[in-house]
């Protein structure tokens, strides 16, 4: 409507003005040139000098062939002032041949600050993504709310937040932080599914260093307070990091390769998976788990030997390293991988690991991406710090996520599965579709040494004999198999072929229906 009003106003001017003035076409060309120029050559040079791309360069790199159809190119804050486009570029294009909507703050125009008019642009492109059922990518490089617009700018932020919530679980939402993102602006990325930050040039915080120094008398740099390293390794706010804008955009394209366009669309299948046949056995897997139950091994290596081409795209790779989450393919089918990492803290579950895995499980379930879980977990991390900070509450998040998930679930216990952690890690009791154990699996209430000490005391007779008896009776997968709690004890080298077959058989599973009739309710109350 704004475009039409602008063209009508120009046409009315031409009727009353002498011949020789600009035609409608010339005026339109002039406005488009202004929009393409953004804040001007000098500001663009400053952007490039910081190692940052322009808004249009970023969206072009994201889309196949650099082609995208821009929307609302001529929007301005009002009819008489402002630069056409008003600090945000928005449009649609294709990534891997599938529709994607995107918007990017233009830092060369008013520092990319959010006005009511460009909030309207962002809202329009978000609505379009929801209507057509395609992912939306937001590229954040903004000074925050446009102060001179007052509450109008704040209302714009709230309109974006509302749409983030409405679209959650409907289409994938991805945020790239490619510059400053402060104050209220941080909450839109926090509401999206994945956040990627660029090292050195991106920062996120609710309150900046200057305010912190004034109020709390603390000196902290922008990088330490809210840089990519802080949010990727300490807070878990950032799911991915990149060294520069180009790497960030390529990582986003790679991520979209694994995701369906919307919650009702099928997960994309890689038809070239025949390059990595699924029936090929890997004898190395038969010896990857050490005989010593206390000796670590790298679960990433194990997973990479099972998935197609050894490609595992880790999510939150630098945060809560005792659990692995990420995307891969098996037999061409996209899967979400969750795995304990015995190479870090023995793979124990703690607060951060529980939060990390729970959110990932819920995302995969929302978009019907099959979950592939590898279990080697000695339990939950003990200690006052964990207890006082709510390990019970946070561990319940992961339990709730797996129990609620109806997407296909395949679980392989490679070694330890002790106590409540056994239950939590996608056990058969949480409606797992296929649950397997390797011969090295130990499924028990706790480790043999601890159990024997509790049962017989530290100075009881024949403790070594009792230890061997406990190991023979409990530290193995046979009791669970006898009870039907696992579907089979499998040869490790044949795991890839088995999983590929299971994924084929589960391809038509109706994940929108619960296995058992659920009571009527609005929704459950997850322990947030």
User: Which of the following is catalytic: 328, 353, 421, 441?
Assistant: 421
Q: What angle do CA 160, 161, 167 make, to 5 degrees?
A: 90
Q: Where are the alpha helices (DSSP H) in 339-424?
A: 351-366, 384-388, 391-404, 419-424
CA–CA distance from 62 to each of 96, 100, 254 (Å)? 10, 9, 10
Instruction: Answer whether 497's CB lies under 8 Å from 281's CB.
Output: yes
The residues near 45 (Cβ < 8 Å, ≥ 6 apart) are none
* Nearest alpha carbon to residue 412 among 484, 499, 342: 499
> How far does the chain reach from its first CA to its final CA, in angstroms?
42
Catalytic residue among 133, 184, 200, 501: 184
SS3 of 471-500: the string is HHHCCCCHHHHHCCCCCEECCHHHHHHHHH
Q: How far apart are CA 272 and CA 189, in angstroms?
A: 34
Tokens 């954040």 sit on residue: 140
Whether 102 sits among the annotated catalytic residues: the reply is no
Token digits of residue 178: 């490619």
CB 404 within 8 A of CB 440: no
The token pair at 205 is 């915080």
Pairing verdict, β 203-205 and 240-242: unpaired
Residues 6 or more apart whose Cβ sits within 8 Å of residue 515: 406, 431
3-class DSSP state of 410 = strand
- Residues in the chain, how many? 528
Strands 98-105 and 136-140: parallel
Concerning whether 39 is annotated as a catalytic residue, the answer is no
In contact, 9 and 76? CB cutoff 8 Å? no
183 is catalytic: yes
Catalytic residue among 39, 91, 179, 183: 183
Q: Which of 442, 428, 438 is nearest to 474 (CA)?
A: 442
Count of CB atoms situated within 10 Å of the CB of 246: 15
Alpha-carbon distance of 204 to 206, in angstroms, equals 7
- Which residue of the set 82, 169, 420, 501 is catalytic? 420
481 is catalytic: no
Rounded to whole angstroms, the Cα distance separating 238 from 195 reads 5
Strand pairing report for 88-95 and 98-105: antiparallel
Positions marked active-site: 183-184, 420-421
């Amino acid at each position: 409507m704004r475009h039409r009003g602008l063209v009508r106003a120009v046409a009315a001017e031409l009727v009353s003005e002498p011949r020789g003035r600009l035609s409608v076409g010339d005026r339109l060309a002039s406005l488009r040139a202004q929009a393409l120029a953004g804040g001007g050559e000098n500001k663009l040079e400053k952007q490039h000098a910081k190692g940052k791309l322009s808004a249009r360069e970023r969206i072009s790199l994201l889309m196949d062939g650099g082609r995208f159809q821009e929307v609302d190119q001529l929007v301005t804050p009002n009819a008489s002032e402002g630069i056409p486009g008003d600090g945000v570029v928005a449009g649609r294009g294709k990534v891997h041949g599938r529709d994607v909507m995107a918007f990017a703050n233009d830092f060369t125009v008013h520092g990319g600050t959010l006005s009511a008019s460009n909030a309207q642009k962002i809202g329009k492109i978000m609505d379009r993504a929801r209507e057509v059922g395609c992912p939306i990518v937001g590229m954040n490089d903004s000074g925050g709310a446009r102060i001179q617009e007052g509450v109008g700018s704040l209302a714009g932020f709230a309109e974006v937040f509302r749409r983030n919530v409405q679209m959650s679980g409907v289409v994938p939402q991805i945020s790239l932080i490619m510059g400053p993102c402060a104050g209220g602006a941080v909450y839109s990325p926090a509401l999206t599914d994945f956040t990627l930050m660029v090292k050195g040039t991106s920062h996120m915080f609710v309150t900046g260093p200057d305010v912190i120094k004034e109020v709390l008398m603390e000196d902290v740099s922008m990088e330490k307070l809210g840089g990519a390293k802080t949010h990727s390794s300490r807070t878990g706010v950032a799911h991915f990091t990149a060294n520069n804008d180009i790497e960030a955009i390529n990582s986003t394209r790679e991520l979209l390769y694994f995701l369906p366009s919307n919650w009702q669309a099928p997960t994309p299948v890689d038809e070239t998976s025949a390059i990595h046949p699924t029936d090929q056995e890997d004898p190395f897997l038969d010896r990857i788990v050490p005989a010593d139950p206390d000796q670590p091994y790298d679960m990433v290596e194990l997973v990479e030997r099972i998935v197609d081409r050894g490609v595992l795209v880790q999510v939150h790779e630098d945060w809560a390293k005792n659990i692995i989450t990420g995307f891969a393919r098996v037999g061409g089918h996209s899967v979400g991988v969750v795995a304990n990492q015995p190479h870090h803290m023995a793979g124990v579950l703690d607060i951060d690991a529980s939060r990390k895995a729970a959110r990932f499980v819920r995302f995969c379930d929302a978009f019907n991406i099959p979950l592939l879980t590898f279990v080697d977990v000695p339990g939950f991390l003990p200690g006052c710090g964990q207890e006082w900070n709510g390990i019970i509450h946070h561990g319940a998040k992961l339990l709730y996520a797996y129990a609620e998930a109806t997407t296909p679930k395949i679980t392989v216990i490679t070694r330890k599965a002790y106590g409540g952690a056994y239950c939590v890690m996608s056990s058969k009791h949480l409606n797992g579709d296929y649950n397997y154990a390797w011969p090295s699996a130990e499924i028990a209430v706790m480790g043999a040494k601890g159990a024997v000490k509790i049962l017989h005391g530290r100075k009881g007779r024949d403790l070594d004999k009792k230890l061997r008896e406990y190991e023979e009776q409990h530290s193995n997968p046979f009791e669970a198999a006898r009870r039907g709690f696992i579907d089979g004890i499998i040869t490790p080298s044949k795991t890839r072929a088995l999983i590929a077959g299971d994924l084929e058989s589960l391809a038509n599973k109706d994940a929108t229906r619960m296995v058992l009739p659920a009571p009527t309710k609005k929704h459950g109350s997850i322990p947030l």
